[in-house]
Amino acid sequence: MSVSGAKNHALKIFAASVLFSGPVRIGNVPLIEDIFRMSELVSGLGIKVRKTGGHIFEINADTLNKTILDSEIASRFRASVVLIGPLLTRLGRVSLPHPGGCVIGERPIDFFIEGLAKMGANFKNKGNHYFFEAKNLIGADFTFRNPSVTATETLMMAAVFAKGKTVLRNAACEPEVEALAKFLNDGGAKIYGAGAHTMRIDGIGKKNFLKQKNPLAVIPDRIETGSFLILGALAAGPSGIKIKNCEPTHLASLISHLESAGVSIEKGPSWLKVSRTKALKATHLKTREYPGFATDLQAPFVVFLTQAKGESLVHETIFEGRLEYVSDLNRMGAKITLCDPHRALILGPSSLTGREMESPDLRAGLAFVIAALVAKGRSIIHNVYQVDRGYERIEEKLKKLGADIKRI
C-alpha cells in the first residue's frame, strides 16, 4: 500500500500560501475532509484554490481580501488556527472562533496569544471569538512553556515579514514543522534551525512577498504509515504488508517500540515491510513530542498492546482527554484499566469481539477500525467523518490488503 501526503503538513501549506504572491503549486495533497474544509476556509478569504490534477492543488492568494475566518468552518478543525500568523502579518488583522478539531483535551491557544503579543499584536476576545490586530509585527524572543506544533508554526509564519529577528525557544521539532519552514525558505523566507528546539527567523519586511521557486510535494503521512505498520504486525496475510512512499526515519520511535514487542520490520529508503507476529510481548509507552512516540499513534498502539502478552503501561503525556476511547475497546473484550486521565494499564493478550462503536476523533476512529479487523465477528463504526478527516479512502486501501470492510 502507498501512503498519502501528511495532513498536518498539507494543511499548513494551504495557510502559508497567504504569504506568497503568484500561484503556489502543491503536489501529493491528501484528499481528506480537513483539506476540503481548509480549501473552503481560504476560498472564503478571497484566495483562489484549484485542484489541477489528482493530488495537485494550485493556490493563489493575490486576491486575498478578507480577514474574518468563517466560524462554522474554522470551528471544525484545529489547523484553522495557524491562519492567524500569515493573515496578521500580511493584512494586519484576523478574527476567528476558538479552533475546533479532535476532542482530546483542553487545547488552549494561550501560547499564540502570548507570543503574538510579544511581537506587538493587540488581542481581545468576545467569549469564544478572538480578534488580533497589528500594524507592524516586530521580532521577539519567545519561549514556549511546552513545545506546541501549531503555535510554533503560527509564530514562525508571523515572523517571516516582521521587523527584525525572532527567536523561538522550546519550539516543536515535528517533521511537518521542518517541512513547512523549508517551503517558506524556498520562497525567500529566512528561517534557521527548524527541526530543532531553538529557531531564528530574520524578518524580511512586508514588501517582499514570498514566491514559489520549486515544486512542492507534501511529505508522507507518518501517522498513516505507523497505523499500517501496527495493523500489519497484528493482521497481515502470509506475505506481510509493504508500505510504500513513506519516510521510515520519521517512525523511529514506533519502530523501536514494535521491535521491543517482538515485531520484525524490514526497512528501505522509502518503504517498510512488516509481517504478522504471533507472540507479541507487552511494552511500556510514554507519548512525547517528536522524536518521541507520537500521541497520534497512541490509540492504534493501545489496540496493538491488547494482543501482547503481559502488562503494558501507556502514559499519554501530551493531551489529557486522549484515553477515553478505551472503554469501547473494553466492550470488545480488552482488559484495560484507566489509572487516571493520562495512564492506562493493558493486560493482554485478550480476544476481541466485534461491536458497534462511534469514532470519538480521527486517530481513535482508525484505532477502532484496526481493532475491528483483529476482532472476531462484525463491527460497525459510526461517525466515520472523523476518520475521513485524516485518511484518504481508507476502506479502499484496507480492501486491497484483504480486509473485509465496506462503507455503509
- Is 148 a residue that touches ligand EPZ (CB under 6 A)? yes
How many whole angstroms separate alpha carbon 200 and alpha carbon 191?
6
Min dist. Cβ of residue 79 to ligand EPZ (A)? 4
- Choose, by CB under 6 A, the member of 112, 161, 228, 301 that binds ligand EPZ: 112
127: left (phi over 0), alpha (psi -120 to 50) or beta: left
Position among 8, 17, 67, 283 found at the interface with ligand EPZ (CB under 6 A):
8
Does position 209 bind ligand EPZ by CB under 6 A? no
Residue range at the interface with ligand EPZ (CB under 6 A); choices 67-75, 133-141, 143-151, 374-382? 143-151
Nearest to 341 by CA among 314, 368, 310: 314
Considering the complex, what minimum distance in angstroms separates the CB of residue 258 from ligand EPZ? 19
Find residue 143's DSSP bridge partners: 169
DSSP assignment string, 191-254: EE-BTBS-EEEE---TT--B---S-EEPPB-HHHHHHHHHHHHHH--TT-EEEES--GGGGHHH
- If the CB atoms of residues 70 and 296 are measured against ligand EPZ, the closer one turns out to be 296
The contacts of residue 238 (CB under 8 Å, 6+ apart) are: none
* Residue 338, C-alpha cell as written in the block: 484507566
Residue 18's closest CA among 179, 158, 169, 125? 158
Q: Which three cell numbers stand for residue 303?
A: 489496540
102 in catalytic set: yes
Which one among 62, 72, 110, 396 touches ligand EPZ, defined by CB under 6 A?
A: 110
Return the ∠ at Cα 295 (arms to 158 and 375), rounded to 5°: 140
Cβ within 8 Å of residue 116, ≥6 positions away: 84, 85, 88, 123, 132, 134, 137, 154, 155, 158
Least Å distance, CB 116 to ligand EPZ, is 11
Mark the segment that binds ligand EPZ (CB under 6 A) among 43-51, 108-116, 123-131, 394-402: 108-116
Is residue 180 within the footprint of ligand EPZ (CB under 6 A)?
no
Is residue 227 a contact residue for ligand EPZ (CB under 6 A)? no
Among 19, 109, 243, 263, binds ligand EPZ (CB under 6 A): 109
Binding residues for ligand EPZ restricted to 10-69, rule: CB under 6 A: 11
How many residues form the binding site for ligand EPZ (CB under 6 A)?
27
**Can residue 149 be called a binding residue for ligand EPZ (CB under 6 A)?**
yes
- Determine which residue in the list 6, 363, 372, 387 makes contact with ligand EPZ, applying CB under 6 A: 363
Question: Which of 14, 20, 57, 111 contacts ligand EPZ by CB under 6 A?
Answer: 111
Residue 41 identity: L
Pairing of strands 380-382, 335-340: unpaired
Which of 102, 173, 246, 339 is an active site residue? 102
Contact 84, 93 (CB under 8 A): no
Nearer to ligand EPZ, 78 or 90 (CB): 78
Stretch that binds ligand EPZ, among 121-129, 141-149, 238-246, 325-333 (CB under 6 A): 141-149
Which among 388, 375, 396 is positioned nearest to 234, based on CA atoms?
375
Kindly identify the residues of this chain, within the stretch 306-335, that bind ligand EPZ according to CB under 6 A.
318-319
Task: Give exposure, 210-233, as e/b (b: 16+ Cβ within 10 Å).
Answer: bebeeebebbbbbbbbbbbbbbbb
Report the C-alpha gap between 401 and 374 in whole angstroms.
14
| Nearest residue (CB) to ligand EPZ, 40 versus 202 | 40
Query: Does residue 355 bind ligand EPZ (CB under 6 A)?
Result: no
Smaller CB separation from ligand EPZ, 73 or 263: 73
Cα 383 from chain centre: 19
Q: For residue 138, what are the β-bridge partners?
A: 163
Among 225, 253, 295, 359, binds ligand EPZ (CB under 6 A): 295
Q: How far is the CB of 296 from ligand EPZ (least distance, A)?
A: 5
Among residues 8, 10, 7, 1, the alpha carbon closest in space to that of 217 is found at: 10
In this chain, which of 67, 150, 359, 379 binds ligand EPZ, going by CB under 6 A?
150
- Of 65, 106, 126, 340, the residue at the interface with ligand EPZ (CB under 6 A) is 106
Q: Least distance to ligand EPZ from the beta carbon of 145, Å? A: 7
Residue span binding ligand EPZ (CB under 6 A) among the ranges 40-48, 102-110, 255-263, 333-341: 102-110
Q: Which residues sit at the interface with ligand EPZ, rule CB under 6 A?
A: 7-8, 11, 78-79, 102, 105-112, 146, 148-151, 172, 295-296, 318-319, 362-363, 390
Active site residues: 102
